[in-house]
Amino acid sequence: MKKLIDTKCAFVPPVSLECYEDFEEFAKSAAVVTYSTEYFQSPFKSDKKRLRRVILSAIGVKLDNIPLTFTYMIDYSDFDASAEDWQDQTQQTDDRISAILSDLKAKCNLIRGTIDTGSKMGEALVARP
Q: Would the pLDDT of 88 be above 50?
A: yes
Domain boundaries, the chain: 15-114
Cα-Cα-Cα-Cα dihedral of 15, 20, 26, 32, to 10°?
90
- Give 15's strand partners: 70
Q: What is the mean pLDDT of the chain?
A: 82
Q: Would the pLDDT of 122 be above 60?
A: no
Does the domain at residues 15-114 carry the CATH identifier 1.10.287.110?
Answer: no
pLDDT of res. 80 = 74
Q: Which regions of the chain does DSSP assign to beta strands (E)? A: 15-16, 32-39, 51-63, 66-75, 110-112
